[in-house]
Structure 1
Amino acid sequence: MKSYIQSNLDSLQEAVVALQKDAPAPDADGWSATQDAAAVQKMKTDWKKARTAYEHVEGAIAVLFPELDISTDQRYDGFIATGPDDDLFDDQGVTGIHAAERILWSDSIPQRVVDFEKGLPYYVAAAFPANENQAREFKEKLLVRLANDVQEMRNQFGPLALDNSSAFRGVIGSMKEQVEKANKAASGEEESRYAQFTLADMRANVDAGVYTYEAFKPWLLSLDGGKALDTKIAAGFKRVQDHYATLQGDALPEVPAHWSSQEPSAEDLATPFGQLYQVLSDESEPEHEGSLVSSMEASADLLGIPRLP
C-alpha cells in the first residue's frame, strides 16, 4: 500500500508539473480560445492525469494530510463559503486542482453548474486569463502552489509508516462517498463539475479500493470467517465495476429533470443515472447486509483495525 500511494503521488507530481509547464506564456491578451487552443488541450490532458492519480490516493491523503487535501482538492464553493476571492488566478483563496479545472473549462461549463454557483455568496464567474497579469498569475502562482502542495504531500508521506486505519478505513470512507458524489450532480455540486470528469473520479476511487483490499486480503483469509467476507467483498466490487462498465465516457449520466434522492420515482430510477444511483446507494449502505461497505466494515472489525476518529 505504501508503494502504491507513493507511485500515485509521483504520477500526480509529474502531471501537475507538466500542467504548469504547458500553460501558455503570459502575453497581453491572456489566453485566446483559438490561438491557444492547442496549449489548453494539452493542459486538459495533464489535468486529467493529475486528477486520476489523486483519486487513487484520496482515501489515505484526506486522513493523513487534511490541510493539504483542502488546499489541493477543495471545491470552489468550499473555499468561498467564508469570504470572497476576487483574484482566481493567484495562489491564495481558491486554490488546487479544481481551481485550475474551473479556469481550463471555463468556456464549456454546464448550465446547471453555472446556475448552482451563481447562487453562492461571493460568486465570481469562471474565465480564461484576460490579460498578461492573469496569465502570469495562473502559470506562476496558482499552478506553482498546486505543484508545491503536491510536493509537500510527497515529502511528508515518504518517511511515514502507513497505518492500517488510514489505509483500510480511508478506502471504506471513499466507497461510502460514491453515492454522494453521484447525487451532487443533481444540484450542479458534483466534484469534477467543470471538466465533467466525475464518473472517472469515481472509477479511480473504486480501482484504488480494489487495490487496497487486495493488499489486506491474505490477512483476512487467515482468520476464521474471513473467507465468507472475502466472497462478499469481491462480489460487491464486481457489482459496482460491472455497472460502471455499462457507462461510456468520463461524465455521470444525465440527471433526470425532477430527480430527488429522498423519494426518487420509479421512472427516474429506470434512467441510466437512476440505475447508477441505486447500485451505489445499495453498496454504500453500512446497514445493508451484504453490501460492499457493510462487508468491508465487518472485515475491518474482524482484522481489529480501529475506526477513524
Structure 2
Amino acid sequence: MAGILDSVNQRTQLVGQNRLELLMFRLVGKQRYGINVFKVKEVLQCPPLTALPKLNSVVRGVAHIRGQTISIIDLSRATKGPAITDLSKAFVIIAEYNRSVQGFLVGSVERIINMNWENIMPPPKGVGKLNYLTAVTEVENELVSILDVEKILDEISPFPTEVSSSIVDEAPESIHDKKILVADDSSVARNQVKRAVTSLGIEVDLCKDGKEALDLLKAKAKEGPINDLYSLVISDIEMPEMDGYTLTAAIRSDPALRDLKVILHTSLSGVFNQAMVDKVGANAFIAKFNPDELASAVRNSIEN
C-alpha cells in the first residue's frame, strides 16, 4: 500500500494529453471504481472521525488532516449503497473538486492504471438518470465505474447557480442573440453552466463529451461559417473518449474551426497546469463552479 500512496503523491502533478491515470478502489462488494489521480491529494487509512450535529447522513464525520478540517463522505452511502462499516480497515481518498477539499471514505484502495480517454466510455444507455456514473471502462475484463462526483457533492451541498443581478443587468443586448456550445460529461455541471449562461440571454447547445462536441462542430461548419453559429465553446477537461485539451487542440488544427474561442471549465483547480492550456490554445481557464465568474468570462469573451 505504501507504494500506491507514494505513487499518488508523485502523479498528481502530471497533466495528460487525452490520457488519465485512474486510482482504483472498492466500496462495499467486488465492484471496482476509479478516480482521476490528478484530483487526488493524498490517500490514507481512515483517521479518527469526529461526528458533528446536523451533518448530512452521507458525511460520516470530520477529520483533522495536515492542519485542515475535512468532511469525510461515505461514497457507498452517497451512491445509495450500504454504509462502509469497518472503519479500521477503510481508507480515505483526499481529493480536490470545485475549489474545495473533500475526503472520500472507501472500503479498499488498489492500484493506479494508465489509460487513454478513448478507452473511457459514457455510461451504457438504459442505466437511467438516477445513476451516479459519469463514465465506465474495462480493466482486466472487469467493468470499472467512474463516479459523477460533482453530482454527489451537489446532492450533499448544492452549489449556488444564480448569477448576481448586477452582472445580468449589465449584460448588453448585443449578446442576447448569441449561442455557445458546452461540453461536459456531468449532467449536473452541464445544467449549472446552462443556467448561468442563459441568464445573460445567450442560447446554449449541450454535448456530453469532447468527441460529441467536435463531431457537432465539424458538421455545422459544413453548413456555413462556424463563428456565425457559435460565439464560444466552454469545455470540461475530463471527459470520456476525448478530453478538453484534445478537443481544443483539434479545434485549433481545423481551418474551419480554429477561430472559435474556447474556455476550459474544470474541477481540476488544485493541479491545473497553465502551460498545458497555453499549449493547446485555449483562450481562458475557469475553475468550477462560480456562476458570477463564469458569466463574466462568457460576456467578456463574446464582447471582445
- Normalized per residue, which structure has more strand? 2
- Normalized per residue, which structure has more helix? 1
Which one has more relative contact order, counting CA pairs under 8 Å at least 6 apart?
A: 1
TM-score by length of 2: 0.29
TM-score by length of 1: 0.28
